[in-house]
Structure 1
Amino acid sequence: MRINTIKLLLVAVFLIGLTSDVQAQCAMCRAALESEESGVLPEAVNDGIVYLMAIPYILVATIGYAIYRLKYGKKKNESK
């Protein structure tokens, strides 16, 4: 068991060592923000990214809540 832990630790250290500094912006967003003619404000681009990121989380939460209600909601009604 101790050998597995050591192997896991070595793999984790190796993978962390492989990471490099990356730019977290797509080429189109970068071009839109760097060009002075476009007039796109960086805040608007950031708001759009947050909007696109939030929709999947809301959908997953809604589906999870619906499944929860279907699974556990009937038990309350049957006990009454």
Structure 2
Amino acid sequence: MKRLRILLSFLMLSVALTALTSVPAQAQCAMCSINAEQGTKNGNTQGKGLNTGVLYLLAIPYVLVTVVGIVWYRKYRRKNDTHVAVH
């Protein structure tokens, strides 16, 4: 339980530090940005599709980490429950 608290504290601290020290980035592929700008000016919805794709690419690692964390937590909890019952 103490290890879990330390791990959660470390994760929260690193998330807070990352949020406080992040710098906005303006680096992207010139072709993508030009196409997206011109497409939205002409009434195309390519910019919407590009934004949706970026959101999917951004969300997948978080979903995977969450699923692995839940599976790990359930196995860890089940292991501790059987260990307590034996003693």
- Indicate if the aligned counterparts of 1:32 and 1:40 stay in contact, CA closer than 8 A: no
**How far does residue 73 in structure 1 lie from its aligned partner after superposition?**
1.9
Consecutive unaligned residues of structure 1, counting only runs of 5 or more, are 1-15
Structure 1 residue 53 corresponds to structure 2 residue 58 = yes
Q: Which sections of structure 2, spanning at least 5 residues, go unmatched?
A: 1-20
The structure with the greater share of residues assigned to helix is: 2
Q: Which has the larger radius of gyration?
A: 1
Q: Which has the higher contact order (CA 8 A, sep 6+)?
A: 1
Q: What's the offset of the Cα at 1:57? A: 0.5
Taking the TM superposition and a 5 Å limit, the aligned residue runs for 1:24-43 are 24-36=27-39, 41-43=46-48
The normalised TM-score by structure 1 is 0.54
TM normalised by structure 2 equals 0.51
